[in-house]
Structure formats: structure tokens, C-alpha cells
Structure 1
């Protein structure tokens, strides 16, 4: 695979849906190696197959390859979720809806998202978190510019890492993952690259045309994507897609009405920002998994998404900023 192929794969990747039951394996180990080595001139995100291909406007997709504990055959029972009654979840999400609705509609030439995405995988005898930063400029009609930077990899258990000799790189099959950060690249996005909602392409106009009443929006999302994808679709609308304020407000209200969604209480994202975590738990053949959406109720903005399995964080997406702008993107 050439560097051009690697970057094209990155441009089509999206950091969503990290639940282990739905993430395909990495098909492209040489592409991962290009990311992992900081001496490479243009590091890239972890390559995923077509099942998770989407726009880079939301960041780089990070596949989850491992969930293991010391004994993965023994399921970990899910802990109780605080605030699981209807009133707290409704109060939080309805407040976020009101904050979103109060925002004036915005326009611009580019939908710009600045994100950090991380993946945790089991390397050697301990877990390592691999991180990537993206600054994406997506034109409303398609195309744009993507800027990516490899942020390095860090052991989750520092004591275990030091006991192993504090290595500065790890082998994963034929791939070397470096601890040190890498360089930066800038590339043009294809003109036909749009946005993705629940795994399907949409345009900014499609998003603007979604219903602004919660019941109607829920019905439309179920019709398009199915009941099982309702949470995913509504969450993406409030996380980092260019949905107008009224649509985002309706999406918050949809989330408030989904069975299994609960408030987990105050939370801090990986960058130190504080908010309130809303969780959605699923039980599958591989055990229970959980998506956590950290919301700032004062602004009605989603700060981060985290994916957990059996009590262990597998991946995260930090939304540093997302909005329309008339500024010029970096030169390609």
C-alpha cells in the first residue's frame, strides 16, 4: 500500500461505533505501521475496513482489537448506573436541548471539527492507548482539507510498563507502534466525501432537512436506520455533525426517550473538561458494552464519547470544537 492509499483510507475513516461486537478487524497492517512510526513524514490513523468508512471531518477511526482482562472468559457484571430513573435523564437532556435550541443558526463555507481520538489495545502484558488528533475542514458541498497528527501511545498501567523495562515501542504482529508522537500531514479530501450518519452518507442539506420535533425525528431515524441504530444516530447528531440547533435539540429529546439510556453522574473527559455522563448499555454475546456521552449541560454541547466493554475503556473521541467557519483551511 502506498502512502497515498494510506491517506485516502484515513480520509474515509470516522471515530464512531467502537463497540467490540460491531468493529471489524484491521485489514491493513502496513498502513498501521505508517501511523506508528514517528519518523514517517505523514503518519496516519488506524485503517479500518469499508464497514466503518466515513468522513474524516469527525476525526480518525480507531478500531478496537482487544477487550481482554486477565481472564476474558469470565464475564464482568455491569455495575449499577446512577440516576437511571426517567426524571434525571429527562432533566439533563431536556436542559441540553433548550441550550441547543437557544443557539442562533450558523453558516459558513466549511464545517470544521477538531478532535482527538484514542484506542486502547492489549500489547505485551499490559494495555496501551494510541492517540490521534485531527483538524478537518469539510465544505458543505463536499471536499475540503484534513490535517492529522499522531500523538503517540501511552501505557495504561505505568507500573506494568516500567516492570517490563519501559519500552519505547511495541510490536503488534508485523507492526511497530512507537510511544513517541509523530509528525503531521495535510491532504485534500475528495469532492464526493460527505458526512456519515449511522453508517450512511448524508449531506449538510440532508441534516438541515431532518425533523425538528422529537417524535417525528425519532420516527425518521428509525425508518432510515432501524430501531437498533436509534441511539447511534441521535448521538451523532449531537456530537459532531453539522445538524442545525433545532435538529440537535430534537436529537437530545430523542435520546431522553430511549430505553436503557441513563445518567451516570459528573464526569471528566480525557482533556480534563467536566460535564455529565449519559450512558447507553448493550448486552451482547461478548458481554456488556457501554457508550458514554459526556455533555456540558450549560452549553448543550457534547464534549466526548467513550466506548467501554466489561468495565474497561476501549476508545474515546474528544470533540475539541465543531462549527461552521468562513476561514480558509490550511493549504493542501
Structure 2
């Protein structure tokens, strides 16, 4: 042993930088587990990462392999992490850098704030051949700068796609039906809790446009409370003041339900990421939101993550306990501009509405295809 120790080259004892070590750890521990083979492809959705990584680095090292190009199309099979695919980074450093990039963007306004996105919702299809599909929906919104106008929305069902080739093969074995029946939780108002089914057609549906007056004539978004365009454009650009402004609306519960408790940190994460993704705020305010996220203790940041359109970005994430399960809620953003690319939820522990889904499955994703000011109405 002494002879072996003496023969060890000196350069092997040199310190390794954090990014290289993270890459090596990801490669060592994030290899996907081989799915168990069954006679029926009933559980064919492939996990994107194995749980072996969770204890060594973080469960946030997740990669999504999506479609290429700007035109919405069915998503491809989820891919496993590779050495260069996902790197766990220091959250504070990355988010402060993103804040600087966000603050450097042009400060402008227009007649309308316009956003366009594609939502993908994972649905199990039960039958002789069980498989999964992504239900695809395109959504656009135009919000007027001036009070007193209408908010205009346009939505279109784009059909369904397949998370992986095994799911498409099972669909073909089932006769390639043009209509499938997805399984989803019944609405609370139905009076009969549990799962129900509803039809999803393969072909895109018609686009539907709706116009509705602004709430109270001037409220445009919800940010802990209903806010006007003037409110949004005058938000504090200091992270401490912005945090204090937002926490005025925090009451100890979830943003969607008063019966579900939520910590102030989780509440701030949800509201701040919504601000970054959807809202027409000044560049310095978006930068302040990133700086506020950097101060949260439970966020994680992973670099080189692909969204459903194949764009590479950085993911800031926080775990959320659900009814019997755990989700990883993520915001993917472009580090060069601080602009949002996608928000999604990844299954960490199946349970509740995600019961039966594989670990690592992207349960829901909203991919931002465009956002910004426009001077022409739809």
C-alpha cells in the first residue's frame, strides 16, 4: 500500500472545481434505472432520473427532452441525465446573475401585454393496452395597458402526443384511435370524488376567442391580491421592499385554497415565479424577484435543462408536498436574458392526483412561446 501511495501521480491530488465535481456526481448517480419489462406496456413512461441521485446531490437534477423548434408539436420521450446535461449549481450565485441580466433588458410598454404558451398535461389511458399521452393546449392572452378595456384570450386544443415511443406503440396496438379517454380527478363540484374520464381527440380543435371586461374596470392580474396595470408598473425594485409588498397578502395558506396551509417561503416562491413568467413588470422589478428567490433557503438551481421545445435553460425549483405525494415545481429561464422559458411540475413521490405516475414524470408543463408588449390587438 505504501508503494502504491508513493506511485500515485501528484496531479490526481489537485483540487476539483465545483462544476466538474457536480458533473461527475450527476454522471455517477443519475443513471436511470432500467424499467421492469412487462407483457403489457402499461407503465411505459420512462423516469428521467433515478432516486440514487437524491441523497448524493439533489432530486432537482432533472432533464426534459422536448420537441425542437418554435411550432408546438407532440413531446418526445423523456431523457436521462447525462454528464453535460444537468449540473447542480449554487442557487444564490446563479439567481443573482439572472437578476442582473433581467435588469438589463429594455424598459418599454405598449398598448397590449401579450403572452402565448403551450400547456402539456399528462394523462393515463386505460384499456387493453395502457399508455400515457400529453394533452396539448395552446393559450394566448392580450391584456390592455389602459383601464376600462377588455382582456382577450384565445385557446385551442392541439390534440395529444406521446411521452415516449412505447406509449405510441401501445396506442397503435390499440388501433390508433383518433379519440382517447384520459383519466383525471373529478371536479370537486361533482359530489363524487375520485377519477373520471373525458375524451381527447388526436386532431387539433378550433381556436376559440373570448373577451371579458377587466375586473372592477382596471384589475389585470392576481399577485396575492387583484392588481392594476399601474400597480404592476410601480412595484418596488428593491428585493426586500418587494418581499414586504407581496407578504402583505400572505395569510398562511395556499394561493389556491384557504384550507391548505403553506409556508411563507413556498408562497413567495409561487407568487414570485408567477410574476417572472406572466406579468408586465419593469426589468428592475423582475430582477428584484430573482434576487428575492436567491434569499429563499429551500430553492435549488440546476443548469443545462431542456424545456419541451428543446431550448436549454436553467431551472430554479422547490419541492411541494401534495395529498400523499411530492412534486418538484420548477421555473426554467434563460440565463442570458432572465426570461422565463417554462414552468412545470415533476413527480418526486407519486400520490394524490399523481398516484400511479412514475417518479420523474413531468405531470404538467407550460412552455412560454412568446411574451412582451404589442401595439396591435388580435
Does the pair score TM above 0.5? yes
Counterpart in the other structure of 2:213: 190
Change (3 A) 1:222 1:306: same
Counterpart in the other structure of 1:253: 291
The aligned runs of 1:185-264 (5 Å cut-off) are: 185-192=208-215, 194-198=219-223, 200-226=225-251, 227=264, 228-264=266-302
Task: Please give the per-residue CA displacement for 1:64-111, whole angstroms capped at 9, x wherever unaligned.
Answer: xxxx979xxxxx9683235666xx212221111111111232111111
Task: Please give the per-residue CA displacement for 1:182-238, whole angstroms capped at 9, x wherever unaligned.
Answer: 121223232337433356422211112222111121122222235141101110111
Change (3 A) 1:180 1:225: same
The whole-number CA distance in structure 2 between the counterparts of 1:165 and 1:225 is 51
Which TM-score applies when normalising by structure 1? 0.70
The whole-number CA distance in structure 1 between the counterparts of 2:303 and 2:324 is 26
The whole-number CA distance in structure 2 between the counterparts of 1:210 and 1:106 is 15
Shift of residue 147, structure 1, vs aligned partner = 2.1
Shift of residue 284, structure 1, vs aligned partner = 4.0
Note if 1:178 corresponds to 2:178. Answer: no
The whole-number CA distance in structure 1 between the counterparts of 2:222 and 2:213 is 18
The whole-number CA distance in structure 2 between the counterparts of 1:84 and 1:215 is 26
Q: In structure 1, list runs of 5 or more residues that go unmatched.
A: 1-67, 71-75
Counterpart in the other structure of 1:144: 151
Task: Please give the per-residue CA displacement for 1:22-42, whole angstroms capped at 9, x wherever unaligned.
Answer: xxxxxxxxxxxxxxxxxxxxx
Say which is worse superposed, 284-293 or 228-237, in terms of deviation: 284-293
The whole-number CA distance in structure 1 between the counterparts of 2:109 and 2:248 is 28
**Does structure 1 conserve the Cα–Cα contact (< 8 Å) formed by 2:142 and 2:153?**
yes
Equivalent of 1:166 in 153, 176, 182: 176
Question: Tell me, what secondary structure is at the counterpart of 2:172?
Answer: helix
Task: Please give the per-residue CA displacement for 1:153-204, whole angstroms capped at 9, x wherever unaligned.
Answer: 1232223323333222112556321111112122323233743335642221
**Does structure 2 conserve the Cα–Cα contact (< 8 Å) formed by 1:117 and 1:317?**
yes
Counterpart in the other structure of 2:339: 301
**Does structure 2 conserve the Cα–Cα contact (< 8 Å) formed by 1:197 and 1:236?**
no
**Does structure 1 conserve the Cα–Cα contact (< 8 Å) formed by 2:343 and 2:366?**
yes
Counterpart in the other structure of 2:15: none
**Does structure 1 conserve the Cα–Cα contact (< 8 Å) formed by 2:103 and 2:287?**
yes
Change (3 A) 1:200 1:123: farther
Asked which structure has the greater CA Rg, the reply is 2
Task: Please give the per-residue CA displacement for 1:304-328, whole angstroms capped at 9, x wherever unaligned.
Answer: 111122322111111111112212x
Question: Tell me, what secondary structure is at the counterpart of 1:112?
Answer: strand
Equivalent of 2:374 in 319, 322, 325: 325
The whole-number CA distance in structure 2 between the counterparts of 1:251 and 1:113 is 19
Shift of residue 122, structure 1, vs aligned partner = 1.5
**Does structure 2 conserve the Cα–Cα contact (< 8 Å) formed by 1:94 and 1:256?**
yes
Note if 1:113 corresponds to 2:115. Answer: yes
Shift of residue 295, structure 1, vs aligned partner = 0.9
The aligned runs of 1:88-103 (5 Å cut-off) are: 88-103=90-105
Question: Tell me, what secondary structure is at the counterpart of 2:242?
Answer: helix
The whole-number CA distance in structure 2 between the counterparts of 1:174 and 1:100 is 43
Which TM-score applies when normalising by structure 2? 0.62
Q: In structure 2, list runs of 5 or more residues that go unmatched.
A: 1-41, 45-49, 62-86, 183-195, 252-263, 349-359
